[in-house]
Amino acid sequence: MTHLTRRQKATYDYLREHAAAFENPPTLDELCDALGLSSRGSLHKHIQALVVAGLVEPMDGKHRGVRLTEEASRAPGQLPLLGYIAAGQPIEALENPEAVEVPTHLRSDKPCFVLQVRGDSMIEDGILDGDWVVVEERTQANNGEIVVALVDEGEATLKRLLQRSGEVVLCPANSEMEALRYAPDRVRIQGVVVGQMRAYR
């Protein structure tokens, strides 16, 4: 947020704090009135800066009004909970976005999301069934990192990554389970685990 000017930040703060006051996303004219501005052109420049910053959706004629992006609409400290991730055999990841409060020290400074773990294949790494993992969005990872891997573009799993020549190995942290081995073109990395949360109730 430090790269925004005072007026740009005031515009962003107003959109966040008064979203419920508008039946529909406000137009530039409505925002001018609300912010006490006389120049619609000047406000448009501020809005464009917020678009570049990823805080406001592009005003490309697809919809009416000025809309915050989904990420910018969330409260500070919140990340999207995208569903469940299997820590056993791969299952289909559920797309069910909610907002989850995540402490700053459990996330990185890059875009992150949260998944709830199902299964026990990572228990020897301390990741238990029902835990929430905080995942930094990435398309590449280093050997030894715990990753969210998409297999055959349809099933996601949580495993420790081992990349070899001509092979990707997804390793469980459970001595009773075997590693999953795939050709590299069958596996796509979606993120790397950077934090973990657990409820004791």
Place of tokens 């791969």: 90
The catalytic position among 42, 121, 165, 175 is 121
The catalytic position among 42, 110, 159, 175 is 159
- Annotated catalytic residue 121: yes
Place of tokens 């190995």: 169
Q: Are 141 and 189 in contact (CB under 8 A)?
A: yes
Residues designated as active site: 121, 159
